[in-house]
Amino acid sequence: MNSSYQGGAGTTRPRRLLLCLDGVPHKLIESAKARGLFDSFGSPTRLLSPFPTMTNVALSAMFTATPPAGYESLYFDRNAKEQRGGIRKYLGRRTPDKIPSSYMDKLDYQEPLMFEFLIYVAPEKVWRTDMRKFHERFRAAPQTRDYFAFLKGTDGLLHAQGPARLNIALESLDKILIEIQKFCGNETEIVLFSDHGMNLEDNQKVDLVGHLRRRNFKVTSNFNNVRRAVSIPAFGLCSYAAAYCADEDLIGEAADVMVEKEGVDFVVYKDGDQVVLKSQRGDAVIAHDANDRYRYVPMSGDPLELKCFGAASLSASEWFGKTNAHRYPNAAVNIYKSLFSPRVHHTADILISLHDGYYFGWSPFGKFVRLRATHGNALASSSNAFMMSTHREIPPCVNGDDAKPWLMS
């Protein structure tokens, strides 16, 4: 880990190993603890991932790092008015243009670049190699400073093979961590955490592109002289989507059309300084005022199931305290920030949250991966990541935006 982030490592506090397990949900770590794994750790805390619940969005927020260009490696560049990135990211070396956020500057270990793609093709081989390489690199590292590692193979295992295979990987990781503790002694704290959760069910594709085209929209990768153009980058098989409209007047109409599609939970877009939320269960508005307070106002129905709070104007901490265990965790603030805070450089015009059991993404991936789990939406399954420590008791729930003191202090 970069020396500027060492703080009191080895002096005012124990040296720290930060180990991020991509995509491992809180409920699976709770189950692993109940089976006797990770016995030296305290109880796992729920760590709430921001919406959309994607790796680079989550980790840039947790480390207050620079936002990534887009939600995935394929993204829409608002300035160039075209999609950029994609599969080319995984070819060749990891060069500066392939580093999405400054949180990666803090990493001492991350998988070889090609592993980011191969985890979905050969997850078994990749996770075993990934864990072995991490263990080797950690043992060889100087024992006088913190160490930050990111294991991506766990995400691929869950996507392609489901929780049963992940449990085997967790057993292997537990053995590695026991060896590390024997090697380092009590002088090293281990903080184990994840970037986002995961729904744990088979998923089917939502054809947003075909649906929009049938409603006379031109779904395209660029906006060069195309009327009624909408761009929806399709890459990973995830339970969210991000849409960009060539004309601001199209945003509301496109949102209305997408809500009609089976599998879509809700859509959100900006209207002035408010967020408009639409779903088949009704519509709502989320507002934020000059006193840094938020209101959820149902216009019809109760799409986020927050009507019990009325139109109360609450601070971010009050919303978090009342709704962090909700079906849509911390939804009022989380969803508002998805459009009004710099979670990515090129914020979407419309964010689409799908129901658990549905995904949107790149068709070739879907042909060779049977999707047994995924993430991206605003539901608890994807939002509930985890964090636990060998040395400290962590509050029962931590907002991702407030996680840095527990990771880097």
What is the per-residue pLDDT for 2?
A: 46
Distance from C-alpha of 211 to C-alpha of 279, rounded to nearest angstrom: 16
Distance from C-alpha of 51 to C-alpha of 343, rounded to nearest angstrom: 9
- From 235, 233, 231, select the one nearest 363 (Cα to Cα): 235
- From 92, 48, 52, select the one nearest 233 (Cα to Cα): 52
Radius of gyration (Cα) for the chain, nearest Å? 21
Could you state, in order of their start, the residue ranges of all structural domains in the chain? Answer: 3-66+101-199+383-408, 204-368
What is the per-residue pLDDT for 88?
A: 63
Neighbours of 195 (CB within 10 A): 27
Per-residue tokens: 392: 């400290």
Length of the chain: 409
Pseudo-torsion of CA 162, 168, 171, 176, nearest 10°? -100
What is the per-residue pLDDT for 4?
A: 38
Distance from C-alpha of 315 to C-alpha of 408, rounded to nearest angstrom: 26
Per-residue tokens: 12: 């005012």
Q: What is the chain's pLDDT, residue by residue, as a tens digit (409 residues)?
A: 544 345 556 667 889 999 999 999 999 999 999 999 999 999 999 999 999 999 999 999 999 999 999 999 899 999 999 999 876 665 555 555 656 788 888 999 987 666 666 666 667 778 888 899 999 999 999 988 999 999 988 998 898 889 999 999 999 999 999 999 999 988 899 999 999 999 999 999 999 999 999 999 999 999 988 899 999 999 989 999 999 999 999 999 999 999 999 999 999 999 999 999 999 999 999 999 999 999 999 999 999 999 988 778 999 999 999 999 999 999 999 999 999 999 999 999 999 999 999 999 987 666 667 789 999 999 999 999 999 999 999 999 999 999 999 998 7
Looking at residue 255, its amino acid is A
Count of alpha carbons within 13 angstroms of residue 119, beta-carbon side: 24
- pTM beyond 0.85: the answer is yes
Instruction: Please give the CATH topology (third level) of the domain spanning 3-66+101-199+383-408.
Output: Alkaline Phosphatase, subunit A (3.40.720)
